Chains A and B, each alone.
Chain A
Amino acid sequence: MTTTSMIRMASVDKHFGELHVLRDINLEVESGQVVVVLGPSGSGKSTLCRTINRLEPIDSGIIEVDGKRLPEEGKALAGLRADVGMVFQSFNLFAHKTILENVTLGPLKVRKVGKAVAEKDGLALLERVGIANQKDKYPAQLSGGQQQRAAIARALAMKPKVMLFDEPTSALDPEMVQEVLDVMTTLAGEGMTMLVVTHEMGFARRAAHRVVFMSDGEIVEDASPETFFSNPTSDRAKDFLGKILTH
Protein backbone atom coordinates (compact mmCIF):
# COMPACT_ATOMS: atom_id res chain seq x y z
CA MET A 1 0.00 0.00 0.00
CA THR A 2 2.48 2.66 -1.16
CA THR A 3 0.42 5.39 -2.73
CA THR A 4 2.49 8.53 -3.23
CA SER A 5 1.32 11.86 -1.90
CA MET A 6 0.93 14.44 -4.67
CA ILE A 7 0.38 17.19 -2.12
CA ARG A 8 1.62 17.08 1.45
CA MET A 9 1.06 19.85 3.97
CA ALA A 10 2.48 19.48 7.46
CA SER A 11 2.05 21.87 10.40
CA VAL A 12 1.30 24.80 8.10
CA ASP A 13 0.52 28.12 9.78
CA LYS A 14 -0.25 31.46 8.24
CA HIS A 15 -1.34 34.84 9.54
CA PHE A 16 -2.81 37.87 7.79
CA GLY A 17 -1.65 40.41 10.33
CA GLU A 18 -3.60 39.57 13.50
CA LEU A 19 -5.78 37.03 11.75
CA HIS A 20 -4.65 33.41 12.10
CA VAL A 21 -5.93 32.13 8.73
CA LEU A 22 -4.30 28.69 8.67
CA ARG A 23 -3.84 26.79 11.96
CA ASP A 24 -1.58 23.77 11.99
CA ILE A 25 -2.79 22.36 8.68
CA ASN A 26 -1.90 18.73 7.96
CA LEU A 27 -3.19 17.39 4.68
CA GLU A 28 -2.14 14.82 2.14
CA VAL A 29 -3.64 14.35 -1.29
CA GLU A 30 -2.72 11.11 -2.99
CA SER A 31 -2.04 10.87 -6.68
CA GLY A 32 -5.30 10.46 -8.59
CA GLN A 33 -7.43 11.58 -5.67
CA VAL A 34 -10.11 14.27 -5.85
CA VAL A 35 -10.36 16.25 -2.61
CA VAL A 36 -13.11 18.81 -2.12
CA VAL A 37 -12.54 21.47 0.50
CA LEU A 38 -15.72 22.79 2.06
CA GLY A 39 -16.32 25.39 4.73
CA PRO A 40 -18.01 28.69 5.48
CA SER A 41 -16.56 31.82 3.94
CA GLY A 42 -13.56 33.12 5.85
CA SER A 43 -12.67 29.60 6.97
CA GLY A 44 -9.32 29.78 5.15
CA LYS A 45 -10.10 27.25 2.42
CA SER A 46 -9.15 29.60 -0.45
CA THR A 47 -5.94 30.57 1.29
CA LEU A 48 -5.10 26.90 1.78
CA CYS A 49 -5.56 26.33 -1.95
CA ARG A 50 -3.37 29.29 -2.85
CA THR A 51 -0.50 28.28 -0.56
CA ILE A 52 0.01 25.06 -2.50
CA ASN A 53 1.60 26.88 -5.47
CA ARG A 54 2.87 29.65 -3.20
CA LEU A 55 0.63 32.40 -4.53
CA GLU A 56 0.35 32.93 -0.77
CA PRO A 57 3.54 32.34 1.22
CA ILE A 58 3.22 30.60 4.58
CA ASP A 59 4.65 31.51 7.98
CA SER A 60 5.77 28.04 9.05
CA GLY A 61 5.36 24.39 8.21
CA ILE A 62 6.13 22.25 5.17
CA ILE A 63 4.42 22.03 1.81
CA GLU A 64 5.54 19.43 -0.73
CA VAL A 65 4.27 18.85 -4.24
CA ASP A 66 5.11 15.45 -5.73
CA GLY A 67 7.67 14.91 -2.98
CA LYS A 68 9.49 18.22 -3.47
CA ARG A 69 9.48 21.13 -1.00
CA LEU A 70 8.16 24.40 -2.40
CA PRO A 71 11.14 26.47 -3.46
CA GLU A 72 11.64 30.16 -2.71
CA GLU A 73 10.48 32.78 -5.22
CA GLY A 74 12.47 32.39 -8.46
CA LYS A 75 12.99 30.11 -11.43
CA ALA A 76 12.54 26.88 -9.46
CA LEU A 77 9.19 28.05 -8.11
CA ALA A 78 8.09 28.99 -11.64
CA GLY A 79 9.03 25.47 -12.69
CA LEU A 80 6.92 23.97 -9.93
CA ARG A 81 3.96 26.19 -10.72
CA ALA A 82 4.07 24.95 -14.32
CA ASP A 83 3.29 21.50 -12.95
CA VAL A 84 0.41 22.71 -10.78
CA GLY A 85 -2.64 23.86 -12.70
CA MET A 86 -4.76 26.54 -11.13
CA VAL A 87 -8.29 27.71 -11.87
CA PHE A 88 -9.44 30.97 -10.30
CA GLN A 89 -12.82 32.18 -9.18
CA SER A 90 -12.58 35.17 -11.54
CA PHE A 91 -11.11 33.16 -14.46
CA ASN A 92 -8.18 35.58 -14.94
CA LEU A 93 -7.86 34.86 -18.63
CA PHE A 94 -5.25 37.10 -20.25
CA ALA A 95 -7.46 39.92 -21.45
CA HIS A 96 -5.27 41.01 -24.36
CA LYS A 97 -4.91 37.53 -25.86
CA THR A 98 -7.34 35.36 -27.79
CA ILE A 99 -8.68 32.17 -26.25
CA LEU A 100 -6.26 30.05 -28.28
CA GLU A 101 -3.36 32.34 -27.34
CA ASN A 102 -4.34 32.01 -23.70
CA VAL A 103 -4.09 28.27 -23.98
CA THR A 104 -0.85 28.14 -25.98
CA LEU A 105 1.09 30.82 -24.08
CA GLY A 106 2.28 28.54 -21.28
CA PRO A 107 3.40 25.68 -23.54
CA LEU A 108 5.19 28.15 -25.85
CA LYS A 109 6.94 30.26 -23.21
CA VAL A 110 7.39 27.83 -20.34
CA ARG A 111 7.48 24.38 -21.93
CA LYS A 112 9.16 25.78 -25.05
CA VAL A 113 7.19 23.56 -27.41
CA GLY A 114 6.87 24.54 -31.07
CA LYS A 115 4.06 26.82 -32.21
CA ALA A 116 2.41 24.20 -34.43
CA VAL A 117 2.37 21.60 -31.67
CA ALA A 118 1.13 24.08 -29.08
CA GLU A 119 -1.74 25.17 -31.32
CA LYS A 120 -2.70 21.62 -32.20
CA ASP A 121 -2.74 20.59 -28.53
CA GLY A 122 -4.48 23.81 -27.57
CA LEU A 123 -7.23 23.28 -30.10
CA ALA A 124 -7.70 19.71 -28.91
CA LEU A 125 -8.12 20.99 -25.35
CA LEU A 126 -10.60 23.65 -26.42
CA GLU A 127 -12.47 20.92 -28.24
CA ARG A 128 -12.48 18.88 -25.06
CA VAL A 129 -14.01 21.70 -23.01
CA GLY A 130 -16.40 22.50 -25.85
CA ILE A 131 -15.30 25.95 -26.96
CA ALA A 132 -13.07 25.30 -29.98
CA ASN A 133 -15.35 27.54 -32.04
CA GLN A 134 -14.46 30.49 -29.78
CA LYS A 135 -10.70 30.17 -30.22
CA ASP A 136 -10.12 33.52 -31.95
CA LYS A 137 -12.26 35.59 -29.62
CA TYR A 138 -11.00 37.68 -26.74
CA PRO A 139 -12.03 36.66 -23.21
CA ALA A 140 -14.40 39.61 -22.77
CA GLN A 141 -16.43 38.32 -25.75
CA LEU A 142 -17.20 35.01 -24.00
CA SER A 143 -19.75 34.12 -21.34
CA GLY A 144 -18.52 33.39 -17.82
CA GLY A 145 -18.97 29.66 -18.23
CA GLN A 146 -17.06 29.67 -21.50
CA GLN A 147 -14.30 31.75 -19.93
CA GLN A 148 -13.95 29.36 -17.02
CA ARG A 149 -13.79 26.38 -19.37
CA ALA A 150 -11.09 28.20 -21.32
CA ALA A 151 -9.23 28.81 -18.07
CA ILE A 152 -9.38 25.09 -17.30
CA ALA A 153 -8.04 24.35 -20.77
CA ARG A 154 -5.24 26.86 -20.19
CA ALA A 155 -4.24 25.06 -17.00
CA LEU A 156 -4.49 21.63 -18.63
CA ALA A 157 -2.29 22.76 -21.52
CA MET A 158 0.64 22.65 -19.12
CA LYS A 159 -0.01 18.93 -18.57
CA PRO A 160 -0.10 19.49 -14.81
CA LYS A 161 0.42 16.80 -12.19
CA VAL A 162 -2.30 18.30 -10.04
CA MET A 163 -5.09 20.81 -10.52
CA LEU A 164 -6.17 23.39 -7.96
CA PHE A 165 -9.65 24.90 -8.26
CA ASP A 166 -10.30 28.01 -6.17
CA GLU A 167 -14.12 28.37 -6.08
CA PRO A 168 -14.35 27.87 -9.86
CA THR A 169 -18.13 28.37 -10.08
CA SER A 170 -18.71 31.09 -7.47
CA ALA A 171 -18.57 33.96 -9.98
CA LEU A 172 -20.83 32.29 -12.51
CA ASP A 173 -24.49 32.84 -13.28
CA PRO A 174 -26.43 29.77 -12.11
CA GLU A 175 -27.19 28.51 -15.61
CA MET A 176 -23.49 28.30 -16.39
CA VAL A 177 -22.38 26.42 -13.33
CA GLN A 178 -23.24 23.02 -14.70
CA GLU A 179 -21.17 23.26 -17.88
CA VAL A 180 -18.08 23.97 -15.78
CA LEU A 181 -18.84 21.23 -13.28
CA ASP A 182 -19.31 18.78 -16.14
CA VAL A 183 -15.81 19.50 -17.39
CA MET A 184 -14.45 19.05 -13.88
CA THR A 185 -16.33 15.82 -13.36
CA THR A 186 -14.96 14.42 -16.60
CA LEU A 187 -11.49 15.44 -15.52
CA ALA A 188 -11.93 13.71 -12.17
CA GLY A 189 -13.12 10.59 -13.95
CA GLU A 190 -9.92 10.58 -16.02
CA GLY A 191 -7.82 10.26 -12.88
CA MET A 192 -6.53 13.83 -12.50
CA THR A 193 -5.35 14.71 -9.00
CA MET A 194 -7.57 17.60 -7.92
CA LEU A 195 -8.03 19.86 -4.94
CA VAL A 196 -11.30 21.74 -5.30
CA VAL A 197 -12.46 24.56 -3.07
CA THR A 198 -16.19 24.91 -3.71
CA HIS A 199 -19.70 25.30 -2.40
CA GLU A 200 -21.09 22.78 -4.86
CA MET A 201 -22.29 19.93 -2.67
CA GLY A 202 -23.53 17.99 -5.65
CA PHE A 203 -20.07 17.94 -7.17
CA ALA A 204 -18.58 16.89 -3.83
CA ARG A 205 -20.99 13.98 -3.54
CA ARG A 206 -20.54 12.89 -7.14
CA ALA A 207 -16.86 13.35 -7.87
CA ALA A 208 -14.90 13.63 -4.61
CA HIS A 209 -12.98 10.80 -3.01
CA ARG A 210 -12.61 12.85 0.16
CA VAL A 211 -14.19 15.89 1.69
CA VAL A 212 -12.15 18.19 3.90
CA PHE A 213 -14.17 20.57 6.07
CA MET A 214 -12.49 23.74 7.29
CA SER A 215 -13.61 26.26 9.84
CA ASP A 216 -11.71 29.17 11.43
CA GLY A 217 -8.47 28.18 9.70
CA GLU A 218 -8.55 24.59 10.93
CA ILE A 219 -9.29 21.31 9.26
CA VAL A 220 -12.21 20.10 11.31
CA GLU A 221 -13.23 16.98 9.39
CA ASP A 222 -11.58 14.83 6.75
CA ALA A 223 -13.81 11.98 5.53
CA SER A 224 -15.41 10.29 2.53
CA PRO A 225 -18.35 12.23 1.04
CA GLU A 226 -20.87 9.66 2.24
CA THR A 227 -19.61 9.82 5.82
CA PHE A 228 -19.31 13.58 5.81
CA PHE A 229 -22.75 14.32 4.43
CA SER A 230 -24.60 11.62 6.39
CA ASN A 231 -22.62 11.53 9.63
CA PRO A 232 -20.70 14.70 10.32
CA THR A 233 -18.97 14.45 13.70
CA SER A 234 -18.32 18.07 14.63
CA ASP A 235 -20.90 20.66 15.61
CA ARG A 236 -19.41 23.16 13.20
CA ALA A 237 -19.89 20.77 10.27
CA LYS A 238 -23.43 19.95 11.34
CA ASP A 239 -24.20 23.62 11.62
CA PHE A 240 -22.71 24.28 8.18
CA LEU A 241 -24.56 21.44 6.51
CA GLY A 242 -27.77 22.42 8.24
CA LYS A 243 -27.59 25.90 6.77
CA ILE A 244 -26.79 24.65 3.29
CA LEU A 245 -29.20 21.78 3.02
CA THR A 246 -32.22 23.62 4.33
CA HIS A 247 -32.10 25.85 1.28
Chain B
Amino acid sequence: MTAGRLLLGRALQSLLILWLVSLLAFALLALAPGDPARLLLAAAGGEPPTPAEVAAKRAELRLDDPLALRYLAWLGGALRGDFGQSYRSARPAWELYAERLPATLLLAGVALALTLVVAVPLGVIAAARRGGLLDGLLQMVAVVGTAAPGFWVALVLLLVFAATLRWLPALGSPTPAGVILPAVVLALPNIAVIARLVRASTLDALGQAYITTARGKGHSWRGALLFHALPNAMVGILTAVALELAYLLTGTVVVETVFAYPGVGRLAVEAALVRDLPVLTLCVLAAAVIYLLCNWLGDLGMVLLDPRIRYTV
Protein backbone atom coordinates (compact mmCIF):
# COMPACT_ATOMS: atom_id res chain seq x y z
CA MET B 1 0.00 0.00 0.00
CA THR B 2 1.46 3.35 -0.99
CA ALA B 3 1.47 6.33 1.31
CA GLY B 4 -0.87 8.15 -1.10
CA ARG B 5 -3.46 5.38 -0.99
CA LEU B 6 -3.11 5.23 2.76
CA LEU B 7 -3.77 8.94 3.07
CA LEU B 8 -6.71 8.72 0.66
CA GLY B 9 -8.16 5.88 2.70
CA ARG B 10 -7.82 7.86 5.90
CA ALA B 11 -9.40 10.90 4.28
CA LEU B 12 -12.39 8.89 3.06
CA GLN B 13 -12.72 7.25 6.45
CA SER B 14 -12.72 10.66 8.11
CA LEU B 15 -15.37 11.98 5.75
CA LEU B 16 -17.55 8.97 6.51
CA ILE B 17 -17.12 9.57 10.24
CA LEU B 18 -17.98 13.24 9.86
CA TRP B 19 -21.11 12.43 7.87
CA LEU B 20 -22.21 9.91 10.49
CA VAL B 21 -21.53 12.41 13.28
CA SER B 22 -23.52 15.09 11.46
CA LEU B 23 -26.42 12.69 10.91
CA LEU B 24 -26.45 11.52 14.50
CA ALA B 25 -26.01 15.00 15.92
CA PHE B 26 -28.76 16.47 13.78
CA ALA B 27 -31.20 13.63 14.45
CA LEU B 28 -30.54 13.34 18.18
CA LEU B 29 -30.71 17.07 18.78
CA ALA B 30 -33.86 17.43 16.70
CA LEU B 31 -35.58 14.50 18.38
CA ALA B 32 -34.58 15.38 21.93
CA PRO B 33 -37.51 16.36 24.18
CA GLY B 34 -38.41 20.03 24.40
CA ASP B 35 -39.49 22.47 21.76
CA PRO B 36 -36.69 24.77 20.56
CA ALA B 37 -39.25 27.45 19.68
CA ARG B 38 -40.68 27.47 23.19
CA LEU B 39 -37.26 27.34 24.85
CA LEU B 40 -36.01 30.20 22.72
CA LEU B 41 -39.00 32.34 23.58
CA ALA B 42 -38.77 31.42 27.26
CA ALA B 43 -35.03 32.13 27.34
CA ALA B 44 -35.67 35.70 26.36
CA GLY B 45 -37.18 36.24 29.82
CA GLY B 46 -40.64 37.37 30.79
CA GLU B 47 -43.67 35.14 30.88
CA PRO B 48 -44.09 31.67 29.37
CA PRO B 49 -44.87 32.08 25.67
CA THR B 50 -48.42 31.60 24.46
CA PRO B 51 -49.28 28.76 22.02
CA ALA B 52 -49.70 31.33 19.23
CA GLU B 53 -46.22 32.72 19.84
CA VAL B 54 -44.75 29.21 19.85
CA ALA B 55 -46.53 28.29 16.63
CA ALA B 56 -45.28 31.47 14.95
CA LYS B 57 -41.72 30.77 16.08
CA ARG B 58 -41.89 27.16 14.87
CA ALA B 59 -43.05 28.36 11.47
CA GLU B 60 -40.30 30.99 11.36
CA LEU B 61 -37.63 28.38 12.15
CA ARG B 62 -39.25 25.82 9.80
CA LEU B 63 -39.34 23.31 12.63
CA ASP B 64 -42.53 21.76 11.28
CA ASP B 65 -40.79 20.55 8.10
CA PRO B 66 -40.02 16.80 7.97
CA LEU B 67 -36.74 15.96 9.71
CA ALA B 68 -35.20 14.37 6.60
CA LEU B 69 -35.86 17.51 4.56
CA ARG B 70 -34.39 19.69 7.28
CA TYR B 71 -31.28 17.50 7.43
CA LEU B 72 -30.80 17.50 3.66
CA ALA B 73 -31.18 21.28 3.58
CA TRP B 74 -28.65 21.60 6.40
CA LEU B 75 -26.22 19.14 4.76
CA GLY B 76 -26.46 20.95 1.43
CA GLY B 77 -25.65 24.21 3.16
CA ALA B 78 -22.85 22.67 5.22
CA LEU B 79 -21.16 21.35 2.06
CA ARG B 80 -21.10 24.93 0.81
CA GLY B 81 -19.77 26.19 4.14
CA ASP B 82 -23.15 27.47 5.32
CA PHE B 83 -24.05 25.87 8.65
CA GLY B 84 -27.27 27.80 9.06
CA GLN B 85 -28.20 30.78 11.15
CA SER B 86 -28.36 30.84 14.91
CA TYR B 87 -31.97 30.68 16.06
CA ARG B 88 -31.06 33.03 18.88
CA SER B 89 -29.12 35.81 17.23
CA ALA B 90 -29.97 35.22 13.54
CA ARG B 91 -26.25 35.36 12.76
CA PRO B 92 -24.44 32.63 10.79
CA ALA B 93 -23.55 29.77 13.12
CA TRP B 94 -20.07 29.54 11.64
CA GLU B 95 -19.45 33.23 12.30
CA LEU B 96 -20.36 32.77 15.97
CA TYR B 97 -18.11 29.71 16.21
CA ALA B 98 -15.21 31.40 14.46
CA GLU B 99 -15.51 34.39 16.78
CA ARG B 100 -15.13 32.20 19.86
CA LEU B 101 -12.55 29.75 18.49
CA PRO B 102 -9.42 31.92 19.02
CA ALA B 103 -10.22 32.27 22.73
CA THR B 104 -10.58 28.51 23.10
CA LEU B 105 -7.41 27.90 21.07
CA LEU B 106 -5.54 30.21 23.42
CA LEU B 107 -7.00 28.54 26.49
CA ALA B 108 -6.26 25.03 25.17
CA GLY B 109 -2.79 26.10 24.07
CA VAL B 110 -1.90 27.54 27.48
CA ALA B 111 -3.38 24.52 29.23
CA LEU B 112 -1.43 22.13 27.00
CA ALA B 113 1.80 24.07 27.50
CA LEU B 114 1.20 24.04 31.23
CA THR B 115 0.48 20.32 31.10
CA LEU B 116 3.69 19.51 29.22
CA VAL B 117 5.89 21.89 31.20
CA VAL B 118 4.74 20.37 34.48
CA ALA B 119 3.87 16.79 33.58
CA VAL B 120 6.92 15.75 31.58
CA PRO B 121 9.57 16.79 34.13
CA LEU B 122 7.39 15.46 36.91
CA GLY B 123 6.98 12.10 35.19
CA VAL B 124 10.67 11.83 34.39
CA ILE B 125 11.72 12.76 37.92
CA ALA B 126 9.21 10.33 39.38
CA ALA B 127 10.58 7.60 37.13
CA ALA B 128 14.15 8.48 38.02
CA ARG B 129 13.28 8.34 41.72
CA ARG B 130 10.96 5.42 41.59
CA GLY B 131 9.53 4.61 44.99
CA GLY B 132 10.78 7.88 46.47
CA LEU B 133 8.86 10.71 48.12
CA LEU B 134 8.28 12.60 44.87
CA ASP B 135 7.07 9.46 43.16
CA GLY B 136 4.58 8.88 45.98
CA LEU B 137 3.48 12.49 45.83
CA LEU B 138 2.97 12.22 42.10
CA GLN B 139 0.77 9.17 42.55
CA MET B 140 -1.30 11.09 45.07
CA VAL B 141 -1.56 14.20 42.90
CA ALA B 142 -2.53 12.01 39.95
CA VAL B 143 -5.40 10.48 41.87
CA VAL B 144 -6.58 13.83 43.24
CA GLY B 145 -6.08 15.56 39.89
CA THR B 146 -8.21 13.09 38.01
CA ALA B 147 -10.81 12.61 40.74
CA ALA B 148 -11.49 16.25 41.68
CA PRO B 149 -14.39 17.62 39.61
CA GLY B 150 -13.37 20.51 37.39
CA PHE B 151 -16.11 22.85 38.60
CA TRP B 152 -15.13 22.29 42.23
CA VAL B 153 -11.44 22.94 41.53
CA ALA B 154 -12.47 26.05 39.61
CA LEU B 155 -14.53 27.40 42.51
CA VAL B 156 -11.76 26.68 45.02
CA LEU B 157 -9.21 28.47 42.85
CA LEU B 158 -11.62 31.39 42.41
CA LEU B 159 -12.14 31.60 46.15
CA VAL B 160 -8.41 31.55 46.90
CA PHE B 161 -6.81 33.49 44.07
CA ALA B 162 -9.63 35.85 43.03
CA ALA B 163 -11.93 36.46 46.00
CA THR B 164 -9.42 36.15 48.87
CA LEU B 165 -5.94 36.99 47.58
CA ARG B 166 -7.18 39.05 44.62
CA TRP B 167 -4.16 38.08 42.56
CA LEU B 168 -6.12 37.04 39.51
CA PRO B 169 -9.44 38.05 37.97
CA ALA B 170 -12.47 35.89 38.65
CA LEU B 171 -13.77 36.38 35.14
CA GLY B 172 -11.97 34.45 32.46
CA SER B 173 -10.83 36.27 29.34
CA PRO B 174 -8.31 35.72 26.54
CA THR B 175 -5.74 37.93 28.27
CA PRO B 176 -2.56 36.92 30.12
CA ALA B 177 -4.19 37.29 33.54
CA GLY B 178 -7.63 36.13 32.51
CA VAL B 179 -6.51 32.84 31.03
CA ILE B 180 -4.44 31.57 33.95
CA LEU B 181 -7.11 30.18 36.27
CA PRO B 182 -9.18 28.50 33.53
CA ALA B 183 -6.00 27.02 32.04
CA VAL B 184 -4.86 25.67 35.41
CA VAL B 185 -8.22 24.02 36.00
CA LEU B 186 -8.12 22.46 32.54
CA ALA B 187 -4.50 21.40 32.90
CA LEU B 188 -4.70 19.78 36.34
CA PRO B 189 -6.31 16.46 35.36
CA ASN B 190 -4.15 16.31 32.23
CA ILE B 191 -1.01 16.90 34.24
CA ALA B 192 -1.96 13.96 36.41
CA VAL B 193 -2.60 11.67 33.44
CA ILE B 194 0.36 12.71 31.31
CA ALA B 195 2.80 12.66 34.25
CA ARG B 196 1.80 9.09 35.02
CA LEU B 197 2.14 8.11 31.36
CA VAL B 198 5.58 9.74 31.14
CA ARG B 199 6.61 7.95 34.30
CA ALA B 200 5.45 4.57 33.01
CA SER B 201 6.97 5.07 29.53
CA THR B 202 10.25 6.31 30.98
CA LEU B 203 10.45 3.37 33.37
CA ASP B 204 9.79 1.06 30.46
CA ALA B 205 12.50 2.73 28.39
CA LEU B 206 14.97 2.66 31.27
CA GLY B 207 14.64 -1.12 31.34
CA GLN B 208 15.59 -1.50 27.68
CA ALA B 209 18.91 -2.91 26.47
CA TYR B 210 19.90 0.33 24.69
CA ILE B 211 20.07 2.10 28.02
CA THR B 212 22.55 -0.51 29.25
CA THR B 213 24.47 -0.04 26.01
CA ALA B 214 24.45 3.73 26.43
CA ARG B 215 25.73 3.41 29.96
CA GLY B 216 28.35 0.95 28.70
CA LYS B 217 29.48 3.53 26.17
CA GLY B 218 30.17 5.92 29.01
CA HIS B 219 26.94 7.98 29.15
CA SER B 220 26.06 9.20 32.60
CA TRP B 221 22.85 7.91 34.06
CA ARG B 222 21.26 11.33 33.63
CA GLY B 223 22.51 11.49 30.03
CA ALA B 224 21.07 8.07 29.25
CA LEU B 225 17.80 9.14 30.82
CA LEU B 226 17.50 12.46 28.97
CA PHE B 227 18.97 11.54 25.58
CA HIS B 228 17.93 7.93 25.18
CA ALA B 229 15.11 6.96 27.49
CA LEU B 230 13.08 10.18 27.27
CA PRO B 231 12.88 10.50 23.44
CA ASN B 232 11.74 6.90 23.23
CA ALA B 233 9.26 7.41 26.01
CA MET B 234 7.84 10.47 24.23
CA VAL B 235 6.84 8.39 21.22
CA GLY B 236 4.56 6.39 23.47
CA ILE B 237 2.82 9.41 24.94
CA LEU B 238 2.48 11.40 21.73
CA THR B 239 -0.93 9.91 20.89
CA ALA B 240 -2.10 10.58 24.42
CA VAL B 241 -0.94 14.21 24.15
CA ALA B 242 -2.72 14.59 20.80
CA LEU B 243 -5.92 13.26 22.32
CA GLU B 244 -5.45 15.50 25.34
CA LEU B 245 -5.21 18.43 22.95
CA ALA B 246 -8.48 17.34 21.37
CA TYR B 247 -10.00 17.08 24.84
CA LEU B 248 -8.74 20.54 25.73
CA LEU B 249 -10.24 22.01 22.58
CA THR B 250 -13.60 20.33 22.98
CA GLY B 251 -13.89 19.72 26.71
CA THR B 252 -13.80 23.29 27.93
CA VAL B 253 -17.53 23.43 28.57
CA VAL B 254 -17.46 23.37 32.37
CA VAL B 255 -14.43 25.60 32.76
CA GLU B 256 -15.68 28.18 30.28
CA THR B 257 -19.06 28.23 31.98
CA VAL B 258 -17.72 28.69 35.51
CA PHE B 259 -15.22 31.36 34.48
CA ALA B 260 -17.60 32.93 31.93
CA TYR B 261 -14.76 32.48 29.44
CA PRO B 262 -15.87 33.51 25.94
CA GLY B 263 -14.93 30.33 24.07
CA VAL B 264 -16.68 27.67 22.01
CA GLY B 265 -17.45 25.55 25.08
CA ARG B 266 -19.64 28.29 26.51
CA LEU B 267 -21.12 28.87 23.08
CA ALA B 268 -22.16 25.20 23.03
CA VAL B 269 -23.69 25.43 26.50
CA GLU B 270 -25.64 28.57 25.66
CA ALA B 271 -26.82 26.96 22.44
CA ALA B 272 -27.84 23.77 24.26
CA LEU B 273 -29.85 25.71 26.85
CA VAL B 274 -32.09 27.24 24.20
CA ARG B 275 -31.79 24.37 21.71
CA ASP B 276 -30.12 26.60 19.13
CA LEU B 277 -29.78 23.63 16.79
CA PRO B 278 -27.62 25.17 14.01
CA VAL B 279 -25.02 26.34 16.53
CA LEU B 280 -25.17 23.16 18.56
CA THR B 281 -24.85 20.90 15.51
CA LEU B 282 -21.87 22.90 14.32
CA CYS B 283 -20.24 22.61 17.75
CA VAL B 284 -20.65 18.83 17.69
CA LEU B 285 -19.36 18.58 14.14
CA ALA B 286 -16.39 20.83 14.91
CA ALA B 287 -15.56 18.64 17.92
CA ALA B 288 -15.48 15.61 15.62
CA VAL B 289 -13.20 17.44 13.19
CA ILE B 290 -10.88 18.41 16.03
CA TYR B 291 -10.65 14.82 17.25
CA LEU B 292 -9.92 13.57 13.76
CA LEU B 293 -7.28 16.23 13.20
CA CYS B 294 -5.61 15.56 16.52
CA ASN B 295 -5.61 11.83 15.78
CA TRP B 296 -3.93 12.56 12.50
CA LEU B 297 -1.41 14.82 14.18
CA GLY B 298 -0.66 12.12 16.73
CA ASP B 299 -0.13 9.55 14.00
CA LEU B 300 2.03 11.94 12.01
CA GLY B 301 4.13 12.73 15.04
CA MET B 302 4.71 9.06 15.71
CA VAL B 303 5.73 8.48 12.13
CA LEU B 304 8.20 11.35 12.32
CA LEU B 305 9.62 10.35 15.69
CA ASP B 306 9.81 6.61 15.28
CA PRO B 307 11.65 5.31 12.20
CA ARG B 308 10.25 1.81 12.74
CA ILE B 309 6.71 3.06 12.17
CA ARG B 310 7.88 5.11 9.18
CA TYR B 311 9.37 2.02 7.56
CA THR B 312 6.23 0.01 8.24
CA VAL B 313 4.13 2.70 6.55
Judge: A and B partners, yes or no. no
